[in-house]
Amino acid sequence: MKQEKKDIIAFLKENVAPLNDVTLGAGYRASAYLLDGTYLPCVIFRNPRAIVNLAIKRFKEEMVGGSIFSRKPKSNYYNLVKGFVATGNCVNEYDIQRVEKSRHAFPIDFQMQIKGETTMGWTGFSAKMKDGKYLGFGTNFRWEFFQMPDEYSVDDITEIINHSYVLKSGELVSHRETQMTRPENYAEAVVHREMPFFECFIDDL
Looking at residue 73, its pLDDT comes to 56
Q: Tell me: the pLDDT tens digits for 53-62?
A: 998 888 888 7
Tallying the residues shown for the chain, one arrives at: 205
Taking alpha carbons only, the member of 111, 86, 99 closest to residue 40 is 99
Q: Which residues contact 127 (CB under 8 A, 6 or more apart)?
A: 106, 110, 134, 135, 137, 157, 159, 160, 161
Looking at residue 58, its pLDDT comes to 85
How are beta strands 198-201 and 39-46 bridged, if at all?
Answer: parallel
Q: List the chain residues with pLDDT less than 70.
A: 65-75, 177-180
Q: Tell me: the pLDDT tens digits for 147-192?
A: 999 999 999 999 999 999 999 999 999 987 556 677 888 889 999 9
Cβ 29 vs Cβ 43: under 8 Å: yes
